[in-house]
Every structure is written in C-alpha cells, then in structure tokens.
Amino acid sequence: MTGEQEHPIRVKAFQHTPSEPLGHFEQIFSEKKIPFEYARLWEGDPVNLSDATHLVFLGGPMSVNDEQELPWLKEEKVLIRRAVKKHVPVLGLCLGAQLIASAHGATVYRFVNETGWYPVSTTADSTGVFASFPETFRVFQMHGETFHLPVRAKLQCRGDTVPHQGFRLGSALGLQFHLEMTGDLIRDWTKGEKMFLREKIRRDTERYLAESNLLCRQVAGEFLHGDGRKTRG
C-alpha cells in the first residue's frame, strides 16, 4: 500500500509472517501519506534496500538463529549492517530488534516467555523520544528469546524480568516489545492462549492500548523525521 508521492520518505517493512504486519504504524504512515511497502519474506521477496529511505524489521515466531532453515535471516542481518553504516534509519520490533542485535555480534538466546502487557522503564541513557516517555509505561509483549546488548549500543528501555527492552545503535532502534499493536492484532495473536490469560489481556488492553498507540506515534515521529517529535493524526 502506498500513499501519494508527497513525501521524500519511503518505508520498507520486512515481514516474516502474515500475522505480524506494521499494525498501528501502517495507520500512521497512511495518515501522513508516506509511501510504504512490504517485503514478504515467506513468499520469497528479496531482501534489499531498493528505493526505500527507512527500514522496519517486524516480528515473527522464528529465531534469528534459524539461518539454516530460513536463509533470508542472514540476508537481513547483512542489510541491517549496511543500512546502519550508511546512516539509514532502521526500526526493529521484537524479532526485528533481535536481528539488529545479532547483526552486530550480540548473542540472541532463549529466555523468559512474556505474553501480555508488562511494565517497562526508561533508563539514564534514554535519549530523543524516550527522554520524553513516562518513567514507566506498559507495553505488549510476546516473545521467548532475548539478547545481549551489542557493543556501542545504548539501552533506552529496561524490563524487570527481561532487562534489554529497547536500544539505540547508530541509526538503528531496536524494541523488544510491540508498539505496533491494535485490538484486532492482540485478539488474533492471543486466540490460542488459555482463557484466563486471554481475559487478563483483554482487560489490560482496554486499559493500556490507547497510551501504547500514542507512544507508537512518538516513536514513528522520531523514526521518520529524526527529531523525536510526535506525529499528530
């Protein structure tokens, strides 16, 4: 899906599974008439920059360590390294954050499973948009792996159980959590969970999703414009 050619920015999103799209980011890009396209990797779309100015690496159920079964994971890591060297803005969400970490030599490994809404806090090294975030805020999580922090990366967000939740590395921003969530996505992702967890997530979604969408807009503003300003719809 693309908007009118009114903006020099072109976003390319690398999608690993049909169920994990840009979500709320897609709404923001559409509102701003910012052209964006998907590289649907499970369909064999190529891993390249093409004419994009900004890259998003989305989530997925696989591990970044599954390069033998899914060779495009290695290609993504190569592209991430090249993009950061060229100062191309890169945003990684969950698996995408782990790809950024792995691309820069950090270990990604099995850890605590988190599913649902969890508190995350900013750090003393928080800069840009994260410097204006609440000290603690709730985010949607669905992951079972984590990562060491790459060399020269600056931790932006920290979790109680899974410490590395957000980091900057040059032009790249990696977020372990999912700011892209919508109500429909949450219902789809959690339909296989036990009833008590689905009900808890439903209640928490009513409480926290609106703020999450606002924070998503702030991150989108920084990603697109480089100054951390909000995008207003």
pLDDT of res. 63: 98
Quote the pLDDT of residue 226: 84
How far is Cα 73 from Cα 67, in angstroms, rounded to an integer? 6
Domain residue spans in the chain?
11-225
Average the pLDDT over 171-195 and give the result.
97
Does the structure show a pLDDT above 80 at 232? no
- CATH classification (class only), 11-225: alpha beta
Q: What pLDDT does residue 230 have?
A: 38
Question: Is residue 119 scored above 70 in pLDDT?
Answer: yes
Distance between CA atoms of residues 111 and 120, nearest Å: 17
Dump pLDDT digits (tens) for 15-34.
999 999 999 999 999 999 99
> What is the C-alpha to C-alpha distance for residues 87 and 226, in angstroms, rounded to an integer?
11
- Joined together, the tokens standing for residue 11 give 């976003």
- State residue 227's pLDDT score: 56
Amino acid present at 219: V
DSSP 42: G
The structure's pTM equals 0.93
Q: What is the mean pLDDT of residues 146-165?
A: 97
